[in-house]
Amino acid sequence: MEKHDVVILGAGAAGMFCAIEAGRRGRRVLVIDHARAAGEKIRISGGGRCNFTNLGIAADRFLSQNQRFALSALKRYTQWDFIARLDAAGIAWHEKTLGQLFCDGPATQIVAMLLDDMRRAGVTLWLETAPGEVRTTPGGFVVETSRGPVQAASVVVATGGKSIPKMGATSYGYRLAESFGLPLVETRPGLVPLTLAAQELEALKPLAGVAVQGSVTAGRTRFDEALLFTHRGLSGPAVLQASSYWREGQPITLDLARGMDAAAHLRKARSEAGRVAPRTALAQILPEKLARHVEALAGLNGTLADQANATLDRVAALVHGWELRPVGSEGYRTAEVTLGGVDTDALDARTMQARNVPGLHFVGEVVDVTGWLGGYNFQWAWSSGWAAGQVV
Ligand code: FDA
């Protein structure tokens, strides 16, 4: 039987990072992935430029039942550590917005760097290999694989979440956790476009393709970024962010003209050019199609001069607080991440080891730690992979 010190299941961001660290410590490491290539999500991420980290890493940028769980790993392997790594590899990068760091060139540079580091660290990589059952033995674990059983002292589960099944995402890691008795936090798609009911979509049809620098609030969390009306509902960074906080049945609130005072604007416009239609004044602070829609939604007739203060205030309230009730999301087909996962209560924050199963570790997205849009999820993958890599 093949024998290794460490078997890592999943050659994504977290698995590769863990493998490099363990390999550098002299451990004999085998990484197994059913995909044809390693690091596929890195390759396609950030529009092919990989938003690999964020300058603003902080606990409140992560969703988890225990928001502080991620901090140990994030503080020990920081965004600055990863940036230094890219600098040393000669991979150029830039800040796009909101602390989001992207490669100047293709994201495949990062995949190549990781594969190179794995090779130098003596890591063995088995692609197109399906792992099966994992069971404990007196010396550690036996992992059944499509190439036969493999023995290891430690197993690291880095099989990611359920997002984009077309790219090979599976529930394997969650099932494995359950088979060892670890609790799961219910999983759902995150960073995902939200969908609207057919009737509402029909009314919003003319707005498809319209984008504004607005904000979206779901629950108590508000995101000031762009939002976009689509043929299915709502998208854009503010909506993707809010989707992670949205629960079925809840409304979300849109501010279509963030940072402006629509009420003051409408009153001023009325005193200066009262003979125009309300939509004309609205179109000075909103895209024209949206201005028309808001006018219709508010049921306005006549000119601006015909509108009482209370009416203008009602229109302004709509501009800054338009409540919509999504019926769902586009689901794992397009979601960037999976919320929920292996319950952090069952894991040691320093080592990512299952408290009740010595030698079994979970890293990356399979764990109930989900970052905001903007490089947070890769930083979690690097940091958690690094943390486990120090001890396996
Ligand atoms: P990851 O999914 O990367 O890797 C899991 C690996 O396990 C894969 O190689 C998979 O093939 C393998 N696997 C799964 N099931 C298996 C099984 N049953 N048997 C064998 N192998 C199996 N984040 C960010 O911070 N910045 C960004 O720019 C983006 N952009 C982005 C774009 C798109 C389109 C998506 C879908 C996602 C992002 N993300 C992102 C999120 C980011 O990609 C994600 O959080 C990390 O890749 C998670 O890393 P992991 O290593 O945990 O899983």
Question: ipTM of the predicted structure?
Answer: 0.99
Q: Does residue 9 sit in the same domain as residue 153?
A: yes
Q: Does residue 324 sit in the same domain as residue 237?
A: yes
CB 62 less than 6 A from any atom of ligand 1: no
211 Cα: distance to centroid of ligand 1 (angstroms): 28
Q: What's the structural domain count of the chain?
A: 2
At CA 302, angle to CA 296 and CA 303, rounded to 5?
105
38 Cα: distance to centroid of ligand 1 (angstroms): 10
pLDDT < 70 stretches in the chain? none
Q: Does residue 176 sit in the same domain as residue 215?
A: no
Which of the listed residues 287, 309, 329 is the one where a domain comes to its end? 329
pLDDT at 225 (0 to 100): 97
Q: Does residue 244 sit in the same domain as residue 376?
A: no
Q: Does residue 32 sit in the same domain as residue 173?
A: yes
Mutation test of ligand 1: which of 62, 103, 125, 336 has the most ligand atoms closer than 8 Å to its C-beta?
Answer: 336
Residue nearest (by alpha carbon) to ligand 1 atom 31: 45
* 3-state percent breakdown (helix, strand, coil) of the chain, nearest 5: 35, 25, 40
pLDDT, one tens digit per residue, over 330-382 is 999 999 999 999 999 999 999 999 999 999 999 999 999 999 999 999 999 99
**Closest ligand 1 atom to 16 CA:** 51
Q: Does residue 314 sit in the same domain as residue 354?
A: no
Phi, then psi, of 335 in degrees rounded to 5: -60, 140
The whole-angstrom separation of Cα 128 and Cα 249 is 41
Q: Does residue 87 sit in the same domain as residue 134?
A: yes
CA dist list (Å): 46 to 80, 169, 170, 174, 308? 19, 18, 22, 26, 47
pLDDT at 224 (0 to 100): 98
139 Cα: distance to centroid of ligand 1 (angstroms): 31
Q: Does residue 90 sit in the same domain as residue 61?
A: yes
pLDDT at 307 (0 to 100): 97
The whole-angstrom separation of Cα 183 and Cα 195 is 30
40 Cα: distance to centroid of ligand 1 (angstroms): 7
227 Cα: distance to centroid of ligand 1 (angstroms): 25
**Closest ligand 1 atom to 53 CA:** 25
Could you tell me the residue range of the domain that residue 232 belongs to? 193-329
CB 170 less than 6 A from any atom of ligand 1: yes
Residue nearest (by alpha carbon) to ligand 1 atom 45: 377
10 Å CB burial of residue 1 (0-12, 13-18, 19+) is exposed
In total, the chain counts a number of residues equal to: 392
CATH number, domain of 252, equals 2.40.30.10
The answer to whether 142 and 149 have CB atoms below 8 angstroms apart is: yes
**Closest ligand 1 atom to 385 CA:** 51
3-state secondary structure of 105: coil
pLDDT, one tens digit per residue, over 153-209 is 999 999 999 999 999 999 999 999 999 999 999 999 999 999 999 999 999 999 999
CB 189 less than 6 A from any atom of ligand 1: no
- What is the pTM assigned to this prediction? 0.97
Q: Does residue 181 sit in the same domain as residue 198?
A: no
Q: Does residue 80 sit in the same domain as residue 10?
A: yes
Q: Does residue 210 sit in the same domain as residue 311?
A: yes
236 Cα: distance to centroid of ligand 1 (angstroms): 21
Q: What is the CB neighbour count within 10 angstroms for residue 279?
A: 20
Mutation test of ligand 1: which of 9, 32, 45, 167 has the most ligand atoms closer than 8 Å to its C-beta?
Answer: 45
Which of the listed residues 329, 351, 377 is the one where a domain comes to its end? 329
Q: Does residue 380 sit in the same domain as residue 305?
A: no
CATH number, domain of 167, equals 3.50.50.60
Which of the listed residues 329, 356, 375 is the one where a domain comes to its end? 329
